[in-house]
Chains A and B, each alone.
Chain A
Amino acid sequence: MSQPILTMRGISKRFPGVKALEEVDFELYPGEVHALMGENGAGKSTLMKILSGVYAPTEGTIRLKGRDVVFHNPMNAQRQGVSIIHQEFNLFPNLSAAENIYIDRPDITGRFGFIKWPKLVREAQALIDSIGGGIDVRREVQHLGVHSQQVVEIAKALSFRADVLIMDEPSATLPENEVQNMFEVVRRLRHQGVAIVYVSHRMKEIFEIADKVTVLRDGKKIDTRPIGEVTEQKLIRMMVGKEVGNLYPVRITEGQPQQVLQVDEMSLDASHKVSFELHKGEILGLFGLVGSGTHTVAERLFGLRKGTGDVYILGKKVRIGSPLEAISHKVAYVPPDRHRQGLIKPMTICQNLSLNLLKDYTKGMLLDRKRVKQVSETYMQKLRVKAPNDQHIVDFLSGGNQQKVVLGKWLATEPNILILEEPTRGVDVGAKAEIYQIIHQLAEGGLSILLISSEMPEVIGMSDRILVMHKGEFVHEFRRGEVDQEQLLKRASNPRLHEEAVP
């Protein structure tokens, strides 16, 4: 146990014009879960790619099980015992779990290239059972749940007798309640002596599962510490390089009595209806697990989905049958997936910032280009979008800056009601703090905000009130300061649980 299974010494990686990694040392011991943390662009993914054989380091050496090794490609790294599980699964949905696990193994075919089915199924099942998957490997992957698919992915990685397993944001694709199951598998692997590199942005997970943590910043290693020696604040400081006060700004007003939005029996689907209200300057959090219907609430309010029920804005009954109508009633919606729904990435910042308002910027038939320019520059400045100018292509911006463009595009409509769905998904800690600050200022300025998020700390930290959703219904309401993550999750995953506990 005292011998590291993997040692990386003085690893540097240079790309034309960029130093992605500089003199990074990294040690990994068998049977440990080693968290790798850092902001976007800190060099995590480059280090992982070197470790898994995608890139060759410019300088530095890798020792695996006491021998100097060179990985020529990912296949080669796998053969030598280093496997990686990517955030996005690489599975064939129409093949069985067993086929997926052994797809690229030559020893599974017999003479004349025929597949030895019984052997395939037997070995795959044994592998799945060894990590406690409880899956019938003959089932097609597309019929498995997300967690089970991940188990198949892990089994596939292990089928190469992996000594080192790299997990890239393994919880990102999992519903909140499946994360514990994944941890179970990770613990089992740790017990079997596998060394695990665990990459995640989620602090809570790191503290729950990791034994050690290594922080990278600007391509350099900042430190490696046992998890017990650090706190969340300390980790953030290491990642950002400076003090980031409290991530969540302190509220002064917590909303005003005036009601801005009232939703009455709004249908989500054939059998579910919701009612709620939103006040001026209030941040109302909406939390639910995957499939609970939080996204549908946003879609209905923004006219992306039709249904029944009444919506009142500032006391007046309104009809919102399309996004255009929603905009005209001063409702704005920052959608959850900025790549697909929020931005046209190959186009410029200016075009993106003005897309939803071009109609207002038209004089006669022609665009008022001065006004477009003025608005786009105003909001670029307001939100501190970091780019040389507004003709910059959005695709080339960092995640945080892209998200600010989406936010700016909707603030430019000067809304009364702002729906934010996953406003900080995939942005680094620095940008996160900035976005929270912006949301905070907007609410203090009287904007009513509906915050839908799957990140519990975000919902708890930002919201004045939290509505918990479960299977298309509101099951509970919390006020600021009343709830912690555990309670919130409990409510969201099983609303009945609490009622029984109450005397």
Chain B
Amino acid sequence: MSTSLLFRAIQPFRVNKMLTLLLLFAAMLVFFSTRSPYFLTFNNFMNVLNQMVEVGLIAIPMTLVIISGAMDLSVGAILGLSAVSLGLAYESGMNIWLSVIVALLVGSLCGSVNGYLIARHRMQAIIVTIGMLVMLRGMIYVLNEGRPISGYPEPFYFLGQHAIAGIPVNAIFLIVMFLIATFAMRRTRFGTYVYGLGNNEEAVRYSGVPVVRIRFTLFVLSGLFSAMAGVFLVSRLASAEATSGTNIELDVITATLIGGTHIFGGRGSLTGTFMGLLIIVFLRNGLNLMGVSVLYQSVILGILILIAVGKQKV
């Protein structure tokens, strides 16, 4: 009797979480539109969408990785390496689309190294990916000696600088990816396994589920999506730089956590992450338009994380 009572008490809370995020987002929109006449315009919105794509793409696998009870801190470095690989491949005379494929392969390869160490050898995800982060950053400078690589053919800029019916191509891609991923999480067994891993890995293993393969896949996906983000970034900025993607993991994890994904795994959703993403990018944008210094923006974002995640207890 007491248990079903507890159950009923928890159920609406879950819905409320998403509602809270929506309300917070709406309140932000209202607030900023009173502060800046430019905020609530189509152009501004599309601009923001265009800029959130890299963080958004990586946030998809990051959400799954965190739900599964792990963490990937190497995404920014993988993004950088993939971007630079793309530039180098093109520079060496390769077709631009082949170069894109090279970049995606490089990202997936880095992800599979993470996955191999973490899934197969059961090493700590945080440690492995920090090691990877440091190593790859170094590798990037070795590869291109820190100079930006630019001058790509016009069709390549379609990815990051063009729009269809006024909506940026890359934003459309991001939204499609979110929809596919959400669908896959709900309708394939992979989704159940990911939640299961985060809640009780041992029980999942005892159920005959290939735990190693799933963990491995998650990190490969993480690498692949980081590489995709790298490709879109190069297309958007028309330049591949050694510093590409530096600290992007913090934005990605912030969006995921604000979206309600539990840092210890087991709970969370892609819809939540998408809301978290919208909240942080529009917050930044609004504060920019208000002329708030970047330094203060960090302070505000930090406070937001503390409020959002402070409720997560062990």
Contacts and interface: CB of A to CB of B under 8 A. Distances in A.
A318 B266 CA distance: 36
B52 interface: no
B209 A355 contact: yes
A17 B7 CA distance: 13
B203 A343 contact: yes
B200 A343 contact: yes
B7 A396 contact: yes
Given A18-B1, A324-B210, A396-B3, A347 B199 contact: yes
A307 interface: no
B267 to A, nearest CB: 8
Contacts of A85: none
Interface in A341-373: 341-347, 351, 354-356, 358-359, 361-362, 365-367, 369
Given A355-B209, A358-B209, A361-B189, 12 more contacts: A18-B1, A18-B2, A322-B208, A322-B210, A346-B199, A351-B192, A355-B207, A356-B207, A358-B192, A367-B189, A396-B4, A396-B6
Counting chain A residues whose Cβ lies within 8 A of the other chain, the interface size class is: 35 or more
Contact of A393 (B5, B7, B195): B7
A344 B210 CA distance: 16
Contacts of B3: 396-397
Nearest to B195: A347
A388 B208 contact: no
B199 A323 contact: no
27 contacts: A17-B1, A18-B2, A304-B206, A323-B205, A326-B208, A341-B203, A342-B203, A343-B200, A343-B203, A344-B195, A344-B203, A344-B204, A346-B266, A346-B267, A355-B192, A356-B209, A358-B189, A358-B193, A362-B188, A362-B189, A365-B188, A367-B187, A367-B188, A367-B192, A388-B4, A392-B4, A396-B3
B260 interface: no
Nearest to B3: A396
B179 to A, nearest CB: 15
Contacts of B205: 304, 323
B206 A347 contact: no
Most central of B6, B204, B207 by chain A CB within 10 Å: B207
A114 interface: no
A323 B200 contact: no
Interface in B153-201: 184, 187-189, 192-193, 195-196, 199-200
A333 B4 contact: no
A347 B207 contact: no
Given A341-B206, A365-B188, A366-B188, A17 B199 contact: no
A347 B196 contact: yes
Nearest to B189: A358
Contacts of B187: 366-367, 369
Contacts of A409: 207
Given A341-B202, A341-B203, A15 B208 contact: no
Interface string B249-273: 0000000000000000011000000
Contacts of B203: 340-344, 355
Interface of A: 15-18, 304, 322-324, 326-327, 333, 335, 340-347, 351, 354-356, 358-359, 361-362, 365-367, 369, 388, 392-393, 396-397, 409
B207 A340 contact: no
Interface string B1-34: 1111111000000000000000000000000000
In the A-B complex, the 5 residue pairs with the closest CB atoms: A358-B189, A323-B208, A396-B3, A356-B207, A324-B208
A396 B204 CA distance: 19
Interface string B105-143: 000000000000000000000000000000000000000
A17 B208 contact: no
Interface of B: 1-7, 184, 187-189, 192-193, 195-196, 199-200, 202-210, 266-267
Contact of B7 (A324, A365, A392): A392
Nearest to A359: B189
A342 B266 contact: no
Contacts of B199: 344-347
A346 B192 CA distance: 12
A498 B211 CA distance: 46
A469 B5 CA distance: 46
Contact of A323 (B4, B188, B192, B206): B206
Contacts of A393: 7
Contacts of B7: 392-393, 396
Nearest to A327: B208
A356 B5 contact: no
A401 to B, nearest CB: 10
Contacts of A346: 199, 266-267
Contacts of A18: 1-2
Nearest to A358: B189
Contacts of B207: 323, 355-356, 409
Contacts of A345: 199-200
A398 B209 CA distance: 26
B209 to A, nearest CB: 7
A344 B196 contact: yes
Contacts of A326: 208
Contacts of B6: 396
Nearest to B210: A324
A346 B203 CA distance: 12
Most central of B5, B193, B203 by chain A CB within 10 Å: B203
Contacts of B202: 340-341
B262 to A, nearest CB: 10
Nearest to A343: B203
B200 A344 contact: yes
A129 B164 CA distance: 85
A300 B166 CA distance: 61
B231 to A, nearest CB: 25
A388 B5 CA distance: 12
Nearest to A15: B2
Contacts of B189: 358-359, 361-362, 367
A355 B196 contact: yes
A364 B199 CA distance: 27
A409 B207 CA distance: 9
